Amino acid sequence: MLELPAHVIDAMVAHAHAAAPAECCGFVVGAAGVATRTIPLRNELASPVAYRADARDLFHAFRLLRDEGLELLAIYHSHPTSPAIPSRVDLAENYYGDLPRIIISLASEPPAIKVFRLHSDGFDEIECTPSRRLDIRNAAR
């Protein structure tokens, strides 16, 4: 299960706006399936169509997770001008396995926010509303 409180969603959207016109990226972290905060990461590509998290930021993020006893619950990134749908690049660079992916699209107002489970041959969308527990374990494949 994954619970995304409104303040966590607001933080992701704020990061997406701040990074635009480039894609943003970051982690959603918490405990027992409840997201408590985001860890924004720098996009070293500074690209509007791709991201690669800065290696130093990743190092510090994983240290923070360890030191504070937090869990990595999801990965987020933005699509500044395209829909909140995983791209071919998103599918090809699926480094974290079954971890949910959150995409924030700034192509509409308000921004569209969708959650996905990625597979090598496609993806499944997981319904998302603020403060709702999402059953990510039982998403249809």
Give the tens place of pLDDT for each residue, 9-35: 999 999 999 999 999 999 999 999 899
Collapse the DSSP code of 104 into the 3-class scheme (helix H, G, I; strand E, B; otherwise coil) and give the result.
Answer: strand
Percent of the chain with pLDDT over 90: 70
Tally of domains within the chain = 1
Question: What is the pTM (predicted TM-score) of this model?
Answer: 0.88
* Residue range of the domain that includes 49: 2-134
The one catalytic residue among 23, 68, 71, 109: 23
CATH number at residue 123: 3.40.140.10
For residue 141, being part of any structural domain is answered with: no
pLDDT digits (tens, 9 = 90+) for 97-124: 789 999 999 999 999 999 999 887 889 9
Neighbours of 141 (CB within 10 A): 7
Q: Is 71 a catalytic residue?
A: no
pLDDT digits (tens, 9 = 90+) for 55-73: 999 999 999 999 999 999 9
